[in-house]
Structure 1
Amino acid sequence: MNRQQLIGIANAWFEQQGWKPFAFQKEAWKHFLDGKHGLLNAPTGSGKTYALWFPIVLNYIKNHPDYKTKHQKGLKAVWITPLRALSQEIKQSAERIVNDLELPMTVGIRTGDTSSKERAQQRKAMPDLLITTPESLHLLLASKGYGQTFKNCSAIVVDEWHELLGSKRGVQIELGLSRLKTVCDDLRIWGISATIGNLEQARQVLLGPETEANQNAVLVRANLNKKITVKSIIPKKMETFPWRGHLGLHLLDAVVPIIKNSKTTLLFTNTRSQCEIWFQKILEKYPEFAGEMAMHHGSINKETRLWVEQAIRNESLKAVVCTSSLDLGVDFAPVETVIQIGGPKGVARFLQRAGRSGHRPGKESVIYFLPTHAIELIEASALQRAVREKAVEDRVPYLNSFDVLIQYLTTLAVSDGFYPEEIYPEIKQTFCYQGITEDQWQWLLNFLVMGSQSLKTYDEYKKVEAEEDGRFKVNDRGVAMRHRFQIGTIVGDASLSVHYQKGGYIGSIEEYFVSKLNPGDVFIFAGRNLEFIRIRGMKVQVRNSTKRTNKVPAWAGGRLSFSSQMSALLREELYKAPPPDPLTIVSTKPNTGGEGEQPSKELMALKHIFDKQREESIVPGPSEFLIETFKTRDGYHHIFYPFEGRAVHEAMSSLLSYRISLLSPVTCSLAFNDYGFEMLSDRPIDIQAVLDNNLFTTEYMLSDLQKSLNSNEMARRKFRDIAVISGMVFTGYPEKGVKMKHLQSSSQLLFDVFRDYEPDNLLFQQAFTETFEHQLEEGRLRIALERINQQHIVWKQCERPTPFSFPLITDRLREKLSNEKLADRIKRMTKILMK
């Protein structure tokens, strides 16, 4: 069959469904059948699955014209997805095509949820089309004879590539593909990505920058004009001195009519604890939603999550309170409305969530934005603009993740073994390891065979044997088994499973939270009030309780920071703050940002806050950087406003306090949020000296940063993950996990050994690199300091706290006070400030 006839089959199938293929789908079919690799850029819900399943199937028909009588069994294509929840959807799409075209092809899934019986069947005979995750792909590479398994595989599709890029799971994919390019006879690699800022680079990372695949690659864009409408829920009454959490639940009554007027509503929260609280509070106030409302987040058990997903599809639920667990994939046609509670911290995440409503080509997406404090309305205004201008973040890829490389080399050694001279050129072709040197490669090989220089007397670190013919191989069955259990790069805080005393499984929570509970304590989880009884092994035993409680488990996701795109948009919106009324006398000229442009209704709603801010200080314009100082009974407050996001402020506040301490010895405590940071000290800091000595310079930034932060402590925490991924520390067998404090102490011991005896250890050095590049965003810090250096620094010596500084002060109090006491204290403070 020629290409035209093949595409005719696809067109006919679409016609039978009453559909018409989009231009981007046809373009993907054509390029795939021409033997090209590529990246498809298409929004969720636009039919991207059919854009790539079809050409895979058509290519099979082309190469096997007698497929009806002579079907060759074996793996023909692999579809990699970051989320297990997506695999069922993808399987249904593939089976629909295969069954309608009467092809003898089978479709299988292999993820962490696949039963051991099904895995055993797959070992005997692989399905023709396999849907899997990055971790399960590496498990296949860890099985003997994997070369035979993948030999006739003609296509690999990496779904949701924007989610994997910029993570170690993305590096896993790069390494897996580097091997399969050699093993498979005729392979086409395609990625699917929603919009990100650096699409060209995303394609390079997927295919390898200098490879033939990248030279022979295309970028297919789905130019579908998706209409996204953002509606802000603007409170009728707002505090002049805003603080985090003062709105949020106060707007519950504004949310309920939206839920009632929609078939199905998704309420997105940023954290699992926020999700639990909103679910509880809505049911408390509106018990009529019982049975019509559910909750969905990553720590709730799988059965409940699947039930919720199905209930959304068949429209039996009115509302679901969820976290990013429903950001991706899962195909929800009936969702009519999405509500975002609190700033989403990034444009891409917001657009992804908006796209959950009107999840069909050509349908409008409607998303409501609910601020949890007043200043978040500036974010709402910035997001409106991002949607209009289609401004989306870049995803920054990892470089030189040696822990992932050690894990991968051990995987190859566990299966058939590997020859370094064969594998080295493959690894050098990946984006992550394009800069790896011969010396580093030699170090890694030595590490596999002997453990590191300082550990070579301990046999437990010698996992791989170098055989006489030069092949590197794992011959110890125990080592191989432990390695297979630990394949993967997701290392969170240890999770403990939560069970009723009589055995029913509820979900999982982090060890950090449980370690602070005493028997009899009550906490909210999975929408229930649970009383803590005891911990047995890795299980938390609980019983239902009727006591009221404010305790909600906290998860690591609660520390999300602004993306660089979001920070820039926020500053630009702030510069458009409405000017004061002509009769108002203010202490400084109004800012002149965004001249000729009318402030948005969100900014107009904040006018009273801007006016109050100008009474005591200023609202900075594009060329101004604001510093405020004032005294309260807590001490001397020094507040800086870079508007750069929490991660950058954490680093900048440490850097600045270190540089100030060199001028005059002063101890201060630091607090930071997404808008600025505070230094609180027992005596005033000489801000004039800070300005005169140019303390915002980028010179010596890295060495000052290392001295300022407890960079050893931060790197030590990072090193725990590196030690687990590289296999130096074993996390335990299923159901018998090693406690996090034991993991922590094992990895700390190794960290100290390397620090004292082997500081050039590549994994030890990687811990510092990751701390600066990923946790503290050193690149963004440098750009922010350069920007501040070009601005006019305005230092305002205020008599009292300002509306801009108030959220920072109250956030610091939050650490010390319970919610009730905090609310009382804030009421008193506000009363004084409003006099």
Structure 2
Amino acid sequence: MVSAVPPEIADWFSGRGWRVRRHQAEMLAASDAGKHAMLVADTGAGKTLAGFLPTLAAFTPSRIADGARPEGLHTLYISPLKALAHDVQRNLVTPVEEMGLDIRVETRSGDTSSDKKRRQRSKPPNVLLTTPESLSLLLSYPESFDLFAGLKRVVVDEVHAFATQKRGDMLALSLSRLQAIAPSMQRAALSATVADPEAFQGWVAPWGDIDQVELVIGEEGAEPQVEILLPDEERVPWGGHAATWSIPQLYGRIRKNRTTLVFTNTRFLAEYIFQHLWDANHDNLPIGIHHGSLSKEARRKVEAAMAAGELRALVCTASLDLGVDWGDIDLVVQMGAPKGSSRLLQRIGRANHRLDSPSRALLVPGNRFEFLEATAARDAVKEGMRDGEDFRPGGLDVLAQHVMACACAAPFDEAALLREIRSCLPYAGVDESVWGRVLEFVATGGYALRAYDKFKRITKDGDGLWRLSHPEHAHRHRMNAGIILDAEMLEVRFRNGRSLGKVEERFAASLRPGDTFQFSGVNVEVEQLKDMELIVRASAKSAMIPSYGGLRLPLTTHLADRVRTMLTDRAGWARFPDDVREWLEVQDWRSHLPGPDNLLVESFPHAKRHYTVYYTFVGWNANQSLGMLITKRMDEMGLMPGGFVANDYSLAVWGLKPVTDPAPLLSPDILTEEFIDWVQDSHLLRRAFREVAVIGGLVERQHPGKRKTGRQVTFSTDLIYDVLRKYEPDHVLIEAAWADARARMTDIGRLGDLLDTAAEKLDFVELDRVSPLAVPVMVMIGRESVPQGAQDDELLLEAESLAGAAMRVDGVPEESDRSN
């Protein structure tokens, strides 16, 4: 399939010494043929330009000829990140200006001023770059029908980043609404890292129309160069996650390169690593920091400095790992474990953002398991293997929010809206019963809440159409709509009004006047907490680093399987550092090794307690759930459990009595009644309900001129939760909360697979002391409440003490006594 590239575009490519790549031409051809498209191409392959090529072509004089120039909103570009939308604007304006095309390009996000948003609704640009949340809000306005009536194209960038999550549910519903408003609208999705392109074709397509989605596979790029950093003379650490041992070496790499991008997995670690780098920065190199809690002004300043090549290094989180095109980055560093090959590949692609130049990456493991994980991820990248989440049914809380958005725009017919909703993959299976329950919830709050007028948001008139029960509900919806629910945040400001960013309310509540903390690379002292703002001043005192809540990045199943395969590949150990190889050899000698198709469980005494360690490799969430269930069952069996601690790879449980047979603790029936009882009695279901209640619009965070505190939201949702549990346990939001608790908070799917493995092949070993493989999880005991990285030095000292016992084998010297 070929399509003529307009001469204006062809000349621009050739003027830069480039050529139009095959996949770029195929994306243009798909559009010319009236098809939707799904493009999978390596980072640096010009994916974004490929997505916009049909738009640029539509505005070229050679294609317009004697016709009229396209007017109004022509193309929507959907980005998972605000930073990416602003970056794309910078990079799109250049070809538009150099080709002399009459195209107006603007961005719209939570950072956009209200005046500009209002103007965009009445006088839209030709190309609007936005996010799923902002698009959903646009669709809630009556003028959305006129605004989108002439829409020709939607480009969804980095589609893998949200399609399988609730943001993807929201976007899928919005695309269905756009398709209803503009039936000839074409969809295009772009990604470098999807593992199953055909599945994403189904998400891109209007349901049942997958044949109309052209799958375009990009030209292959240069193979990335991935290196794992190891200590110069010391051993790979036993425990810890911050990898602060690497700071001197890392700083040396920064000095040797033009620009280095340093990725961390959490905001805490970003601040922590930034401070350690700054302490080592004897040359006063310009080093910056970027994460989602910093102020808009701070983020924009750093992004502009990177684009201008003014920074030597930037420490960041996932806030910058998608698609941002800074061509002068010549090294990407991943601090700690990457948690997935696709995520790693995405981050690697920020370096040498060109298809023909290899990206260079440095992986810095914090401990020995992370070394194995880094090795597995590097191998996966080399083999071109990707990982990712599976699609699942769309969230009912998201559906309720969408129904309310539609009602804010105009009265709707329920049968027509249901057909529209069923046209997207996440909601294709919504039946009449579920639809009726969702409508009833939006209309009255549900059976148990229908007596309260505040929950009556829509009503059905005599003409059979649903409409708002009061116009005020539209304003309230727009103030509270959204999917991303971070912990409640407080603004951090100097007394002169300058904002530094936000910290979590939970952290701020622990502070008193005179306390100091470090934020955005600045030490500040608390002056007062006033009206949801933390007033601070600069300080020279030593300071702590804010901690942040939120779910941890999950270890993907694909990467976990690779690590377990490596553990049993004894011939492959030869490529490991001596200390890592000896660690595995002594483990093999003293105990067993966990493999890809078995569950290893070890039992041993230590410090007057009896410990059982389960080598699960199912991720932290599933291990936390398993720990709760096992201790509950141990208590019922009289084994007197004391507690547990978990990481991504293993779970350690201790008690006053030994576990002599773990099989009864791991029987699959633990996921039936005991799981249900535990979730209902724990904070998990309440927390899940709190989130779905906010997303579904049952509880509002924002009121005109005022925002509820996190404590107020919790109080409100807990009261409603108790009412519904008692009087309407099948309420649509209770169902939505259960879905979240199973899938996201407890990772019940992986837990079920683990228990099936245990039933088929359980490998139980009783030992007289701690094993080498148990040391990394054992040193975490008593430190779960401490932010990762904050106590690394103490943790490593404790690890060395445990390791002395773990590495002793009769007749074999300790690792520390071996000569290299």
Query: Shorter-normalised TM-score: what interval?
Result: over 0.9
Q: Is the 8 A contact 1:711 1:768 kept in 2?
A: no
Partner amino acid for 1:448?
Answer: V
Local SS of the residue matching 1:795: strand
Unaligned runs of 5+ in 2: 809-813, 815-820
Cα distance, 1:315 vs structure 2: 2.2
**Alignment counterpart, residue 812 of structure 1, candidates 759, 781, 797:** 781
Cα distance, 1:92 vs structure 2: 3.8
Cα distance, 1:647 vs structure 2: 1.9
Cα distance, 1:142 vs structure 2: 1.1
**Alignment counterpart, residue 225 of structure 1, candidates 221, 225, 236:** 221
Question: Is the aligned partner of 1:264 residue 2:220?
Answer: no
* Correspondence for 1:674: 648
* Correspondence for 1:602: 576
Local SS of the residue matching 1:811: coil
Q: How many angstroms apart in 1 are the aligned matches of 2:795 and 2:86? A: 46
Q: How many angstroms apart in 2 are the aligned matches of 1:62 and 1:220? A: 27
Question: Is the aligned partner of 1:502 residue 2:496?
Answer: yes
Deviation digits for residues 9-45 of structure 1 (CA, Å, limit 9, x no counterpart): 5323322332101111111111111001121112332
Q: How many angstroms apart in 2 are the aligned matches of 1:398 and 1:558? A: 19
Partner amino acid for 1:461?
Answer: F
* Correspondence for 2:462: 468
Q: Is the 8 A contact 1:49 1:93 kept in 2?
A: no
Partner amino acid for 2:274?
Answer: F
Cα distance, 1:218 vs structure 2: 1.2
Local SS of the residue matching 1:498: strand
Question: Is the aligned partner of 1:706 residue 2:699?
Answer: no
Q: Is the 8 A contact 2:42 2:219 kept in 1?
A: no
Cα distance, 1:4 vs structure 2: 5.2
* Correspondence for 1:438: 432
Q: Is the 8 A contact 1:623 1:792 kept in 2?
A: no
Local SS of the residue matching 1:805: helix
Q: State how 1:738-777 maps to structure 2 within 5 Å.
A: 738-777=708-747
Greater shift in the superposed pair: 726-735 or 316-325: 726-735
Give the direction of change, closer, same or farther, for the CA distance of 1:81–1:711 in structure 2 (3 Å limit): farther
* Correspondence for 2:119: 121
Cα distance, 1:409 vs structure 2: 1.0
Greater shift in the superposed pair: 740-749 or 367-376: 367-376
Q: How many angstroms apart in 2 are the aligned matches of 1:23 and 1:92? A: 24
Give the direction of change, closer, same or farther, for the CA distance of 1:62–1:422 in structure 2 (3 Å limit): farther
**Alignment counterpart, residue 684 of structure 1, candidates 648, 658, 671:** 658
* Correspondence for 2:688: 718
Partner amino acid for 1:782?
Answer: G
Partner amino acid for 2:219?
Answer: N
Q: How many angstroms apart in 2 are the aligned matches of 1:3 and 1:826? A: 61
Cα distance, 1:79 vs structure 2: 1.1
Q: State how 1:138-149 maps to structure 2 within 5 Å.
A: 138-149=136-147
Q: How many angstroms apart in 1 are the aligned matches of 2:707 and 2:451? A: 27
* Correspondence for 2:155: 157
Partner amino acid for 1:561?
Answer: P
Question: Is the aligned partner of 1:619 residue 2:575?
Answer: no
Cα distance, 1:191 vs structure 2: 0.8
Q: Is the 8 A contact 2:388 2:556 kept in 1?
A: no
Give the direction of change, closer, same or farther, for the CA distance of 1:616–1:515 in structure 2 (3 Å limit): farther
Cα distance, 1:105 vs structure 2: 3.1
Question: Is the aligned partner of 1:571 residue 2:564?
Answer: yes
* Correspondence for 2:811: none
* Correspondence for 1:448: 442
Q: How many angstroms apart in 1 are the aligned matches of 2:226 and 2:500? A: 35
Cα distance, 1:94 vs structure 2: 3.9
Give the direction of change, closer, same or farther, for the CA distance of 1:122–1:440 in structure 2 (3 Å limit): same
* Correspondence for 2:817: none
Question: Is the aligned partner of 1:335 residue 2:338?
Answer: no
Greater shift in the superposed pair: 358-367 or 388-397: 388-397
Local SS of the residue matching 1:287: coil
* Correspondence for 1:587: none
Q: How many angstroms apart in 1 are the aligned matches of 2:639 and 2:775? A: 27
Greater shift in the superposed pair: 337-346 or 41-50: 41-50
Give the direction of change, closer, same or farther, for the CA distance of 1:763–1:318 in structure 2 (3 Å limit): same
* Correspondence for 1:285: 280
Cα distance, 1:747 vs structure 2: 0.7
Give the direction of change, closer, same or farther, for the CA distance of 1:769–1:185 in structure 2 (3 Å limit): closer
Cα distance, 1:676 vs structure 2: 0.7
Identity of aligned residues (%): 29
* Correspondence for 1:243: 239
* Correspondence for 1:591: none
Question: Is the aligned partner of 1:253 residue 2:248?
Answer: yes
Cα distance, 1:759 vs structure 2: 0.7
Local SS of the residue matching 2:783: helix
Q: How many angstroms apart in 2 are the aligned matches of 1:185 and 1:624? A: 52
Q: How many angstroms apart in 2 are the aligned matches of 1:803 and 1:519? A: 46
Question: Is the aligned partner of 1:296 residue 2:290?
Answer: yes
Question: Is the aligned partner of 1:531 residue 2:525?
Answer: yes
Give the direction of change, closer, same or farther, for the CA distance of 1:684–1:226 in structure 2 (3 Å limit): same
Q: How many angstroms apart in 1 are the aligned matches of 2:442 and 2:115? A: 33
Q: What is the root-mean-square deviation in Å for CA atoms of aligned residues?
A: 2.5
Give aligned pairs, total.
Answer: 804
Question: Is the aligned partner of 1:182 residue 2:156?
Answer: no
Q: How many angstroms apart in 1 are the aligned matches of 2:78 and 2:654? A: 49
Give the direction of change, closer, same or farther, for the CA distance of 1:258–1:242 in structure 2 (3 Å limit): same
Question: Is the aligned partner of 1:166 residue 2:164?
Answer: yes
Q: How many angstroms apart in 2 are the aligned matches of 1:552 and 1:190? A: 42
Deviation digits for residues 541-589 of structure 1 (CA, Å, limit 9, x no counterpart): 112222223x211223573221111111111111224xxxxxxxxxxxx
* Correspondence for 1:82: 80
Q: Is the 8 A contact 1:379 1:570 kept in 2?
A: yes
Cα distance, 1:728 vs structure 2: 0.9
Q: Is the 8 A contact 2:262 2:313 kept in 1?
A: yes
Q: How many angstroms apart in 2 are the aligned matches of 1:634 and 1:288? A: 51
Question: Is the aligned partner of 1:56 residue 2:47?
Answer: no
Give the direction of change, closer, same or farther, for the CA distance of 1:61–1:534 in structure 2 (3 Å limit): same
Cα distance, 1:199 vs structure 2: 1.8
Question: Is the aligned partner of 1:356 residue 2:350?
Answer: yes
Greater shift in the superposed pair: 615-624 or 24-33: 615-624
Q: How many angstroms apart in 2 are the aligned matches of 1:266 and 1:105? A: 33
Q: Is the 8 A contact 2:6 2:60 kept in 1?
A: no
Partner amino acid for 2:240?
Answer: R
Q: Is the 8 A contact 2:352 2:359 kept in 1?
A: yes
Cα distance, 1:600 vs structure 2: 5.5
Deviation digits for residues 774-801 of structure 1 (CA, Å, limit 9, x no counterpart): 2222222222222333335131322x22
Task: Please report the TM-score for the alignment, with normalisation by the length of structure 1.
Answer: 0.91
Q: Is the 8 A contact 2:176 2:424 kept in 1?
A: yes
Greater shift in the superposed pair: 824-833 or 716-725: 824-833
Give the direction of change, closer, same or farther, for the CA distance of 1:704–1:223 in structure 2 (3 Å limit): farther
Deviation digits for residues 481-522 of structure 1 (CA, Å, limit 9, x no counterpart): 111111211111101110113322111111111122232222
Partner amino acid for 1:814?
Answer: R
Give the direction of change, closer, same or farther, for the CA distance of 1:683–1:147 in structure 2 (3 Å limit): same
Give the direction of change, closer, same or farther, for the CA distance of 1:735–1:534 in structure 2 (3 Å limit): farther
Q: Is the 8 A contact 1:242 1:803 kept in 2?
A: no
Deviation digits for residues 773-830 of structure 1 (CA, Å, limit 9, x no counterpart): 22222222222222333335131322x2222212212112224788376566556555
* Correspondence for 1:585: none
Give the direction of change, closer, same or farther, for the CA distance of 1:821–1:113 in structure 2 (3 Å limit): closer
Partner amino acid for 1:804?
Answer: L
Deviation digits for residues 157-205 of structure 1 (CA, Å, limit 9, x no counterpart): 1111111112211111111111111111421111112222222111212
Give the direction of change, closer, same or farther, for the CA distance of 1:600–1:189 in structure 2 (3 Å limit): farther
Unaligned runs of 5+ in 1: 578-596
Q: How many angstroms apart in 2 are the aligned matches of 1:108 and 1:734? A: 28
